[in-house]
Chains A and B, each alone.
Chain A
Amino acid sequence: MTRQQILDLYFMDARSKLIDIAAFLDRVDRGEGEPDFRLDAFRKALAELHRGEPVRAKSVLMSLSDPTVEPIAKAPGKGAVGAWEMTKSE
């Protein structure tokens, strides 16, 4: 597809998601209390969008991933939260 065709197909969708992210960050700013590690992780992942090559999706995912390599001793629970907290490693 040409860049023009991609814009025609996906610009409005991406624009809407971009404004959603902006509104989410505004909402967090207006909120009270201390945020947990996910906000920092989110801001760090946002910086990956400035990359000049088409590896942004992968880079955002890697930025939010557990970088350790060894299996852990015990499951802290069943769920995942979408970002990795450095202090929770063994």
Chain B
Amino acid sequence: MRYIEPHGHMVSRVTDDYEAMVLAGCRAVCEPAFWAGYDRSGPEGFYDYFCQLTDYEPKRAAKFGLPHFTWLCINPKESEDTKLAEEVIALIPQFLDRPNVLGIGEIGLNKNTRNELQILERHIDLAARHDQLILVHTPHLEDKHKGTRLILDAIKADSRIQPGRVIIDHVEEHTIAMVLDAGFWAGITLYPESKTTPARAIDMYEVYGGQRVWLNSACDWGRSDPLAVPKTAVEMRRRGHADETVDQLVFQNPIRFLAQNPRFTVR
């Protein structure tokens, strides 16, 4: 088996996870910038984090021969403080030329506030001005449906952004159709409790089609499983999906989206 992990927060995982992922067939890992589990005290904390994502973490992955890519932004959980968010956004352009940076992400909304929306629009503008791909985080649980609508409206309102260059992540049964119908890519996140199980992810793939869909583990410091994607591939085979179909979903699809940035290459 071969697969791409298009969304993993490796800074919060142990080195053994890299080894396990490579043994399971992982050919590249992509790490969006996210919330650390606590609020950083100022923009310097984000500067250091961006250095970690663009310098230290790719070296850690390289020890296992695993290409490591990243996405930069200030996450929506810390975007309620718009002054801090503006300062962090001003730091990002100097990192966009680093060789493992794929785009702006994971941006989006958390509690669907006006401030979060304002900072989302600033990130969309940043991506448009620098011709960057976009990776979007949709809110959790009861906030997801409303937040996904607000996010789609905000992106559609900027005519410089092509939907095919945007992935809306963490879709579930009540949001996937609106994402795909609007021409965006959809990410399905496999979590033990919230988000989706392997069985539900495959249901969505079967019902809504898999042309613009990827799977990810979004593994981080919470309950999550860095091997969720290959485990779902095994589940697909149990359901009778052909090896080629599985390969398309877990390997070829993420490459098709990510390779829109020529920096993304897989051996």
**Residue pair A80, B139 in contact (C-beta under 8 Å):** yes
When distances are taken between beta carbons in the complex, the residues of chain A under 8 Å from B110 are: 75, 78
Residues of B within 8 A of A68 (CB): 146
Complex-state Cα separation, A68 to B147, whole angstroms: 10
Residue of A whose beta carbon sits closest to that of B117 = A71
Check B80 against A75 for contact (C-beta < 8 Å). yes
- Taken residue by residue from 7 to 23, chain A's Cβ proximity to chain B (1 for < 8 Å, 0 otherwise) reads as 00110010000000000
Say yes or no: A75-B240 contact (C-beta < 8 A), given A62-B145, A66-B143: no
* Residue from B80, B150, B203, B239 within 8 A of A9 (CB atoms): B239
Contact A81 B142 (CB under 8 A): yes
Nearest opposing residue in chain B for A67, CB measure: B146
Give the residues in chain B near A64, CB-CB below 8 Å: 141-142
Cα A84 to Cα B140 with chains together (Å): 12
Min CB distance B201 to A, Å, is 12
Interface centre among A64, A67, A78 (most CB of B within 10 A): A78
Contact present for A72 and B112 (CB under 8 Å): yes
**A75 and B111 within 8 A (CB):** yes
Q: What is the distance, in angstroms, from B169's C-beta to the closest C-beta of chain A?
A: 16
**Any chain A CB within 8 A of the CB of B238?**
yes
B-contact 0/1 string along A77-90, CB 8 Å cutoff:
11111111000000
Q: Is B145 touching A65 in the complex (CB atoms < 8 A)? A: yes
- Is A76 an interface residue, CB under 8 A from the partner? yes
CB contacts (< 8 Å) of B140 on chain A: these are 79-80
Knowing A9-B239, A61-B172, A65-B174, say if A76 contacts B142 (CB, 8 Å).
no
The smallest C-beta distance from A65 to any residue of chain B, in angstroms, reads 4
- Measured as residues with beta carbon below 8 angstroms from the partner, the interface class of chain B is 20 to 34
- Secondary structure dominating the interface of A: loop
Option from B77, B142, B203, B240 in Cβ contact (under 8 Å) with A82:
B142
How far is the CB of A55 from the nearest CB of chain B, in Å?
A: 8
Which B residues lie within 8 Å of A80 (CB)?
111, 139-143
Cβ-closest chain B residue relative to A56: B173
Question: 23 A-B residue contacts at CB 8 Å?
Answer: A1-B240, A9-B238, A13-B199, A57-B173, A57-B200, A57-B203, A58-B173, A61-B173, A64-B142, A65-B142, A65-B145, A66-B112, A68-B146, A69-B149, A71-B117, A72-B111, A74-B115, A75-B111, A75-B116, A81-B142, A82-B142, A82-B194, A83-B142
Among all A-B residue pairs, the 6 with the closest Cβ atoms: A80-B141, A80-B140, A75-B111, A61-B174, A58-B173, A65-B145
Beyond A62-B174, A80-B140, 10 additional pairs, beta carbon < 8 A: A13-B199, A61-B172, A65-B146, A65-B174, A66-B142, A69-B146, A71-B116, A73-B114, A75-B111, A81-B141
Chain B contact residues, CB within 8 Å of chain A:
77, 80, 110-117, 139-146, 149-150, 172-174, 194, 199-200, 203, 238-240
